[in-house]
Amino acid sequence: MADLVRISGKRPATNGTRNQPKEPKTPLQTINPNTLCRQPTQEESSKCNLAVLPTTGFQRWSLSGMHYRYFRISLPASIDRNRLFHSCELLVQRHDSLRTAFAKQDGDNGKTVVQIVHPSVRIQFQENNQVESLDRHCDEDTRDAVEPPVDGKPPFQVQIVTLKDSRAFLVLRFAHAQWDGFSLASITNDLSAAYNNLPLSPTTQYFQHASAAWATHTDDAFKIWMRVLEGSQMTKMDAGALLLLPKESARSEIGIKMQEPYTVKITKTIPKEPLSSLPTNISMGTVIKTAWAMTLMHSFRRKRTSEENQVHDVVFGQVTNGRALGIPNESHIIGPCTNIIPVRVRLTGTSITKLDLLRKVQRLYLDTRAYENVEFEHIVKRCTTWASDTKYGSIVRFQNYDFNPTTWLEGTACKGSLYYVPNRPSETANIAIFPFETELSVVMTVSNHTLNEQEAQCIVDEFCKQVQEFSNDHDLDEPVNLQYSYQAPE
């Protein structure tokens, strides 16, 4: 299924904004709102006790390419809204990432974005009543909001949205630069505990994680990444070299580039093999990476010498959760601990079985896991001969966490749901795999300037075929098929 994503619809009715609690006796000092679209001066930072810190690679990438995320929690009719608000306030005061704002740095024409951690923030309780559609409300909120959120104000926002049928929802709006998917469980656990006056689990601030992650940028780390990537090139999603379609299906690159970019989204669901069918010590994440490597090898023709034709070499990005630094309470951090690291799969003309290839990919992960927090731009600069502005051609992410966790309010299990408008059109293909009990949902998003619907659909079909081949333990002793699925005419 292919669909082109656009934002539309009318603005839902809004009944205004409520600020709670009342102003403290000593009001929080803030920077002049008229100057918030730039980095605060040293004097302003000192006066307001602000921490001004550099952003991470993932934060910069998400700020430039991603829209707001909305976590929606259905509310029971008996909800105490004041208690709920105070629970949200406690959540914000407890986690520095939710009090973080982003602003352009002075002196470089706004190219550099810093993060500003406020010591305290009074959150706004937005109330929206008689709303026709919750999804449309989020779409409209995205369209009307400041994006990217680099105006110096914390983008986190708390909303209560009541639909025309009287159902009410707590809606938490984040920039992805403030959190990652693994943060959702901590958010719901803290809200449940705060609302029900229960002890809160110990936690660690995100910036402790960021500091520990930066400390992994060592000479040893760069040596490992240099060894992994030596002689490689980033694999681009080049539609002109696509082997899965006949030559007459080729499109005009000039015509495509003149079009307004939009996001092509392809979704496909396939049966999921039980975990017991996987070989010992092989994870589903390894299956996914291996299948994507084979998809790239099968899908694109490259001009090479006869000697080079015996070598199949691909590089792509893998999303990691970044929470293996060994710092206290790491699993309870609310923040964007995620990183994207390179995966290289290189095969020579020597025959290799599917099982051996899975083990090869798994071994690469184990060899680089201690260095998974090293940022991509530093890997490019220190460990490769690539251009300094190299971007990933494709990124895979296996979302093996609960993105619909439950919050307990008034004795009711309130299911959450994550919603967002697809990312801004990106020439990097983003492949997300969502595991369910008996099936896998595969979603690819990519700019139409990279792949059109037909091309993207062919690649997703090939990927799903490879996933099924490598997750079936019955024929893993067979050699890997390195022949292309379709040989385009010269």
Distance CA 468, CA 295 (A): 12
Residue 304 has pLDDT above 60, yes or no: no
pLDDT (average), residues 286-300: 94
Phi/psi region, residue 23 (left: phi>0; alpha: psi -120 to 50; beta: rest), is beta
The Cα–Cα gap between 279 and 289 comes to: 15
Q: What is the pLDDT of residues 115-156, one digit of tens each?
A: 999 998 888 789 999 999 999 999 999 999 888 899 988 999
How far apart (Å, rounded) are the C-alpha atoms in residues 379 and 109? 26
Asked whether the predicted pLDDT for residue 488 surpasses 70, the reply is no
Please give the structure tokens belonging to residue 124.
């706004």
Please report the pLDDT score of residue 41 as a whole number. Answer: 60
Q: How far apart are CA 239 and CA 301, in angstroms?
A: 10
| 214 contact partners, CB below 8 Å, separation of at least 6 | 373
Q: Are 450 and 249 in contact (CB under 8 A)?
A: no
Domains of the chain, first to last: 2-24+32-210 (3.30.559.10), 217-401+423-475 (3.30.559.30)
* 351 or 166: which leads in pLDDT: 166
First to last CA, the chain: 30
pLDDT in tens, 400-423: 888 899 999 999 999 999 998 888
Question: What pLDDT does residue 277 have?
Answer: 78
Average pLDDT over the chain reads 85
Distance of alpha carbon 36 from alpha carbon 466, whole angstroms = 49
Question: What percentage of the chain reaches a pLDDT higher than 70?
Answer: 82
Q: What is the pLDDT confidence band of residue 256, given thresholds at 50, 70 and 90?
A: low
What's the whole-model pTM score? 0.85
Please list, in sequence order, all residues whose beta carbon lies within 8 angstroms of the beta carbon of residue 310, skipping any fewer than 6 positions away.
348, 349
The confidence score (pLDDT) of residue 29 equals 28
Report d(CA 279, CA 470) in Å as an integer: 10
The confidence score (pLDDT) of residue 247 equals 54
Q: How many CA atoms lie within 13 A of 116 on its CB side?
A: 31
The predicted model gives 14-22 an average pLDDT of: 37
Q: Are strands 406-409 and 412-420 parallel, antiparallel or unpaired?
A: antiparallel
Q: Is the peptide bond before 21 cis (omega within 30 degrees of 0)?
A: yes
Instruction: Give the pLDDT confidence of 175-231 residue by residue, as tens digits.
Output: 999 999 999 999 999 999 999 999 999 999 999 999 999 999 999 999 999 999 999
**Which residues contact residue 292 at a Cβ distance below 8 angstroms, ignoring those fewer than 6 apart?**
316, 394, 396, 431, 463, 466
pLDDT at 223: 98
